[in-house]
Homo-oligomer: A and B are copies of this chain.
Amino acid sequence: MKARVHVMLKNGVLDPQGEAVRHALGAMGFDGVKGVRQGKVIELDLDAGVTEADVEAMCEKLLANTVIESYSVEMI
């Protein structure tokens, strides 16, 4: 079983990495990009007994900094 976790900066938190990407795309001639947010995706290869609640506990304790980041868990 696998889980995919998305970790993104919360809205309102400055994202300098995303801003740098947006600027670089503009400089390379890609018009029409209004905004860029960059986050992390973490793919976990899990034993059968691990539940979505376990993965959420992993997010709370290690994978995301919940002060500034939000996360979503998707079992695949």
Footprint of B on A, CB under 8 Å? 6, 8, 18, 21, 24-25, 28, 30-47, 49-50, 54, 57-58, 61-63
Contacts and interface: CB of A to CB of B under 8 A. Distances in A.
A45 to B, nearest CB: 4
Nearest to A42: B38
B21 A63 contact: yes
A51 to B, nearest CB: 10
Total copies of this chain within the assembly = 2
Contacts of A62: 21, 24-25, 28
A4 to B, nearest CB: 9
B25 A47 contact: no
Given A30-B58, A61-B28, A62-B24, A37 B42 contact: yes
